[in-house]
Amino acid sequence: MANTKVYQWEYVDLEPGVTNFGTAARGAYLEHIAQWAPQGRVSRGTSLVATWAELGVTGTWPRAINLWEQDSLQVLARRLEMAENLHGDTKGSPARGAAPDPAAEQWMETARKMRLEVECKLLFPAAWSPTLDELLARRVTGGVYYHQTVQVTPRRAEDYLALLQAEGLVPADALGMQLVGAFRTGLCNDSEVLVIWALRDFGHWAKIEKAGREEPMQRWRAAAATLARDWQNVLLLPGPRSSLSTGVIL
């Protein structure tokens, strides 16, 4: 069945966490997200697909990435409304008539000591991209994850996803890469695609990098180059309580 969910992707800067919590900051933040997830699901209709730490040697340290799944844009709109109304006015009253949410406030207070800036993206899945339920049913999990950001020719994101389905999935599968999700980024000119894969471990990743310079991956790269202007990959380490790590939705 076609995936009609919508996803929120969060990229979180944890510099204050290192200052306040030391080296354990990233782990502590991933746990903090895991603690929030059940409440987020019940009160906001958002399910945590995964929380990851970005592997600094492939990109930036200290950073975390969270991926949340919602049933529809309407559910996400409701989340946005709640988030924007969360903080009261200067007299402590809830803003714009919203009900107070002490649990969220408390969570935010701890989060404030861990994170500085958060950059988010709205993601729309390819119809064939698995939902969280399907990922768990298929037991998709990894010791490490491969996160690809692809800049594509504007207005061609859906074409890129179609090409990935037609020509990229088979060689990836042959290398043991399990698809977590393939998305186009919303709120832009259909010019970006995100693809996330689960890998077994770092040894598996090393094999994939070497295979990337050989056939059949070279053939896929050549095909992708007709639409991809540029791309960048990073490795992610899964939070131990992520749904993809435990097989259970938080």
Of 250, 228, 229, 224, nearest to 239 by C-alpha is: 250
Distance CA 124, CA 76 (A): 12
Distance CA 86, CA 105 (A): 8
Residues 6 or more apart whose CB falls under 8 angstroms from that of 161 comprise 126, 182, 184, 193
β-partners of residue 217 are none
| Minimum CB–partner distance for residue 19 and other proteins (Å) | 6
Lookup: tokens for 46: 């958002």
* DSSP class of 246: H
* Nearer Cβ to other proteins (17/40): 17
* Nearer Cβ to other proteins (40/239): 239
Mask 225-244, x = binds other proteins (CB under 8 A)? Answer: x--xxxxxxxx-xxxxx---
| Minimum CB–partner distance for residue 206 and other proteins (Å) | 4
Which 185-214 positions form the footprint of other proteins (CB under 8 A)?
201-203, 205-207, 209-210
Side-chain-side CA neighbours of residue 161 (13 Å): 24
* Torsion, Cα of 207, 24, 17, 93 (10° steps): 110
Which 89-148 positions form the footprint of other proteins (CB under 8 A)?
143-144
* Nearer Cβ to other proteins (100/203): 203
Segment near other proteins (CB under 8 A); pick from 20-28, 71-79, 122-130, 172-180: 20-28
| Minimum CB–partner distance for residue 151 and other proteins (Å) | 9
* # residues near other proteins by CB under 8 A: 45
Q: Are strands 178-185 and 192-199 parallel, antiparallel or unpaired?
A: antiparallel
CA of 191: how far to CAs of 45, 163, 222, in Å? 28, 15, 19
* Nearer Cβ to other proteins (96/210): 210
* Nearer Cβ to other proteins (30/132): 30
| Minimum CB–partner distance for residue 123 and other proteins (Å) | 21
What does the binding site for other proteins look like in residue numbers (CB under 8 A)? 15, 18-19, 22-27, 30-31, 53, 55-62, 143-144, 201-203, 205-207, 209-210, 225, 228-235, 237-241, 245
